[in-house]
A and B are shown apart, each in its own frame.
Chain A
Amino acid sequence: MIGQQAAGNNGQLIHIEHLTKTYMLGEVEVHALRGISIGVSRGEFVAIMGASGSGKSTFMNILGCLDKPTKGLYVLENIDVSKLTRDELAHIRNLKIGFVFQGFNLLSRTSAIENVELPLLYGSTSNKDRHQRAVKALDMVGLGDRVHHYPNQLSGGQQQRVAIARALVNDPSIVLADEPTGNLDSRTSVEVMGIFQELNNKGITIILVTHEPDIAQFAKRHIVFRDGRIKSDKPNTAVKIAMEILRELPAIDEEVEA
């Protein structure tokens, strides 16, 4: 029933209608989201922007199935996610969503490959298959030669690339990146955005949350949040290409050899 409804929406990957989220902070009701309706199609590269307190993080959490909306409809790949239980949401996160966080969130004292393999451990992949897929994902982000390094042996940019590889390893429907460049210097930020653009060119849907306009310029569509509502939603007319910018930047020996 929900599936047919979603299919009616031009086969959109994400279909969100009148989504609201209200928190109780003690006695006070906080309206984090006050009615959001958007759709995202396969292969898009969306930047969600807004000042802090605009509701973009709350929206991101709901989008990533970490949180449930108070009201409204969220359909992800024809599944009405807003009605699922905790365990079912965990299953959706495992199969359809790849997270990239600001703080990388890798398991310390765990090698790059094991970090990347982690999502597969909670699925039903055989040991051999799991290893191959993890290596392939690390190759995609250019870390094929750092497979057995530990997070503390990798630079920030490399750690974030491991996190991206982990997000990709299960072939998710969407990659959600929450301020992925927040902890990185400008050159490394551009490099990471370059990886996102490259992945997007391969058809992977990416939703990026950022408050930096510079970073948002790498995305194809800008959605601006303000006070729990969408202030604007328009295509980016001047998409910057990360590879071109990198070529213009002076080369620095940024790589930390470990």
Chain B
Amino acid sequence: MKTMNILLSAFRALQRNKMRSFLTMLGIIIGVAAVIAMLAIGQGAQYSVEQQINALGTNVLIVLPGSQQTSGVKTGAGSVTTLTEDDCNAIQKECPAVSLLSPGTRAGGQVIAGNLNWATSVEGTGTDYLEIRKWGIEYGDFYTDQDVKAAAKVCILGKTVADALFPDASPVGQTVRIRNVPCKVLGVLTKKGQNAMGQDQDDIILAPWTTVKRRLTWFPYLRQILVSATTPANIPVAQAQITELLRMRHKIAVYDPDDFTIRNQADLATAATATTGILTILLASIASVSLLVGGIGIMNIMLVSVTERTREIGIRMSIGARGRDILTQFLIEALVLSLLGGTTGIILGVVGSSAISNLAKWPTIITAFSIILSFGFSIAIGIFFGFYPARKAAMLNPIDALRYE
């Protein structure tokens, strides 16, 4: 029998029981739509987590002065004084995988404004600091390169500090005294909240690193260098380039350890992405259970159909249908059911996902992969669950089938 004719007669057979065919397909429709929607939600979640992590600044590298080994005793990271302004300039110039850089130093101390005071830490930074940390100014301005060069007595307040020192008025234009050095407040940072460790990131004052170095700490070296890689994927490249450069500049012999440490947040990003990945798989596998139930529905109806049409099978056999003709006929019917159901389910899943993202404001992403996957799944289910009933039909004895009432 030609493929076209088989398809035609399969459609006709399904048309005869429109309601039943539809209800059978419903199982597959719901299953496929659920798989598509769950994958869309999962992948949407994964994407937004990635976005959030990127916003935290995953392509950030922190270069810290390394530990020093003195007669076998290792001091902690940051205990030696090896990073200099020249290192910063060299990194900026010679490491192509580095896009932005901010030298860093730090001072702690009491900050006084009028009759209020507050203990916080003062972070000395470069002008690219905000961009590297993906941070912003809520009001006011950031200091300029000019301020950095001149070690100007200016500062930016974190939200917490601003609220503590200026509960009623705007701090911009006011003066605060940091360790008795009067600094003009240029602006206030946007609220960033707690970091992963639970520290309040807004309890901070930013000032040009030169100001902190020359006016507050008088400590000639840098506490850290904050660097951003050109892309998150370039983090290892930037790390390697910086390592090579600094080893050369610090004249470290081949087998000696680095006198600096480079840290990045890529591990955090990987872990978070993996978690949402598992979530996606979990959602999709729960959804595919309904696909399985849909498949069993197909098998059930095909078995009923074979019994109902025993006489038809007998007639077809008596006029020359071979076992495999009957097998093909019923298999194709099951396949048409699951394919129609699958296609409808895909459409429903796509529409449903966009409805979810519109109504519940959840990000959803539909990939070609999830569509191909569910389509392939419905074909496989049609064949798998259609085979047993089809085989049962094909194995019928023509005489018994003809006599069947």
A interface vs B, CB < 8 Å?
Answer: 61, 64, 66-67, 86-87, 90-91, 93-95, 99, 101, 105-107, 109-110, 118-119, 121-123, 166, 170
Known contacts A67-B399, A107-B312, A122-B325; decide if A95 and B318 are in contact (CB<8 Å).
no
Q: Indicate if B319 sits at the interface (CB-CB under 8 A).
A: yes
Known contacts A105-B402, A107-B312, A122-B1; decide if A93 and B318 are in contact (CB<8 Å).
yes
Query: A95: which of B1, B12, B315, B320 is its contact (CB, 8 Å)?
Result: B320
Known contacts A105-B311, A121-B5; decide if A90 and B320 are in contact (CB<8 Å).
yes
A-B contact pairs, 22 of them (CB 8 A): A66-B317, A66-B398, A67-B399, A90-B321, A90-B322, A90-B325, A91-B322, A93-B318, A93-B320, A94-B320, A95-B320, A101-B402, A105-B311, A105-B315, A105-B318, A107-B312, A107-B315, A118-B319, A121-B2, A122-B320, A123-B320, A166-B319
Residues of chain B with a CB closer than 8 A to A170's CB: 320
B1-43 contact mask (Cβ, 8 Å, vs A): 1 or 0: 1100100000010001000000000000000000000000000
B interface vs A, CB < 8 Å?
Answer: 1-2, 5, 12, 16, 311-312, 314-325, 398-399, 402
**Cα distance A105–B404 in the bound complex, in angstroms:** 11
Residues of chain A with a CB closer than 8 A to B321's CB: 90, 94, 122
Of the candidates A61, A109, A121, the one having the most CB atoms from chain B within 10 angstroms of its own CB is A121
**Cα distance A42–B180 in the bound complex, in angstroms:** 127
Within the complex, the shortest CB–CB distance from A231 to chain B, in Å, comes to: 24
Q: Do the beta carbons of A87 and B323 come within 8 Å of each other?
A: yes
**Cα distance A118–B12 in the bound complex, in angstroms:** 14
Residues of chain B with a CB closer than 8 A to A122's CB: 1, 316, 319-322, 325
**Cα distance A87–B324 in the bound complex, in angstroms:** 8
Within the complex, the shortest CB–CB distance from A87 to chain B, in Å, comes to: 5
Residues of chain A with a CB closer than 8 A to B315's CB: 105-107, 118
Q: Do the beta carbons of B16 and A94 come within 8 Å of each other?
A: no
Residues of chain B with a CB closer than 8 A to A105's CB: 311, 314-315, 318, 402
**Cα distance A99–B314 in the bound complex, in angstroms:** 12
Q: What is the chain A residue whose CB lies nearest that of B5?
A: A121
Q: What is the chain B residue whose CB lies nearest that of A64?
A: B318
Residues of chain A with a CB closer than 8 A to B316's CB: 118, 122
Residues of chain A with a CB closer than 8 A to B312's CB: 107
Residues of chain B with a CB closer than 8 A to A94's CB: 319-321
Within the complex, the shortest CB–CB distance from A152 to chain B, in Å, comes to: 13
**Cα distance A99–B402 in the bound complex, in angstroms:** 12
If A93-B318, A105-B402, A122-B320 are given as contacts, then 20 extra A-B residue pairs at C-beta distance below 8 Å, sorted by A number, are A64-B318, A66-B402, A86-B322, A90-B323, A90-B325, A91-B320, A91-B322, A95-B320, A99-B318, A101-B402, A105-B311, A105-B315, A110-B12, A118-B316, A119-B319, A121-B5, A122-B316, A122-B325, A123-B320, A166-B319
Residues of chain A with a CB closer than 8 A to B323's CB: 86-87, 90
**Cα distance A109–B309 in the bound complex, in angstroms:** 13
Query: 7 tightest CB-CB pairs across the interface, nearest first?
Result: A94-B320, A90-B322, A119-B319, A122-B320, A87-B322, A93-B320, A66-B398
**Cα distance A91–B316 in the bound complex, in angstroms:** 12
Residues of chain A with a CB closer than 8 A to B318's CB: 64, 66, 93, 99, 105
**Cα distance A166–B311 in the bound complex, in angstroms:** 17
Residues of chain A with a CB closer than 8 A to B317's CB: 66, 90, 93
